A = this chain, B = another copy of it.
Amino acid sequence: MVSIVLIGTGNVSKHLFDAFILSTEISILQVVGRNIKALEYYKNRSNIEHDFSKIANADIYIIAVSDDAIAEVSTSLIDKKGLVVHTSGSVSMNDLSNPRKGIFYPLQTFSKEKKVDFKTIPICIEAEKEIDFTLLKKVAETLSNQVYKISSEQRKSIHLAAVFVNNFTNHLYHIGNKICAENQVSFEILKPLITETAQKVESLPPIEAQTGPAKRNDSETIERHLSQLKNKDYKDLYTLLTKSIQDAHGKKL
């Protein structure tokens, strides 16, 4: 049995907690957070603590707080013998000031409202010491079938790539939604296309899945689309994305 103290009460913490308490190999000793109200989520299923000087002793401390609070929280654990890890995609392992340190980064977008299946969520792990890596791997594999050994450099690039395929993609959905709304068309009509676009790259590299006026160098359609767009940012985005697609597909200039 591996004992864990979970620090932080945001979405990542909640989803990790809900997954860990189902595991027979993991024991969540305590959930620690400043926000007493947020701790209520855990209180019937674990010990809760809002005083950072009263953190229990455990095998692993998982810091699931906002990026800019990680370094400070890790100093509350300076005297602990266990392994200290954080869950951030972009914060360096060396921001942790503990003798035993590592990373436990689940690559997914977590919302309060939506349950996730941890089995399919990639977990990127890293540890300074081999023995700690082995421990983290064991813990990660109780949750997920996709556990990756990822260096801090690689993790930062994954985090950047994730911004493109998640945050920026979602914003393109928003633009699609706005264009529809301005023309009294329901966003529903775009949903099957959104689903299929995502499903396609399960089996096809995105470069091969590319279609559309930019790929075809269909300048007439491109011009018409640009004239339809009133918002200057959307126009600029259309132009830049079109150019980037054409570059990727080796348009002869």
User: Which residues of A are interface residues toward B (Cβ below 8 A)?
Assistant: 67-68, 90, 107-109, 111, 113-114, 116, 120-122, 124, 146, 148, 150, 153-154, 156-177, 179-180, 182-185, 187-207, 209-215, 218, 220-221, 224-225, 228-229, 233-234, 236-238, 240-241, 243-245, 247-248
Contact = CB atoms under 8 A, between A and B. Distances in A.
A233 B243 CA distance: 8
A164 B185 contact: no
* Interface-centre pick from A188, A200, A215, A229 (highest chain B CB count, 10 A): A200
The A interface, classified by DSSP as helix, strand, loop or mixed, is helix
Contacts of A221: 67, 90
Given A173-B206, A174-B210, A204-B113, A166 B183 contact: no
A52 to B, nearest CB: 24
A145 B189 CA distance: 12
Contacts of A214: 167, 171
Given A161-B176, A195-B199, 14 more contacts: A108-B192, A111-B204, A116-B196, A156-B228, A161-B175, A161-B185, A163-B225, A164-B173, A165-B193, A170-B211, A187-B205, A234-B244, A237-B241, A240-B240
A27 to B, nearest CB: 27
A208 B134 CA distance: 39
Given A163-B212, A233-B240, A158 B189 contact: yes
Contact of A167 (B154, B175, B211, B220): B211
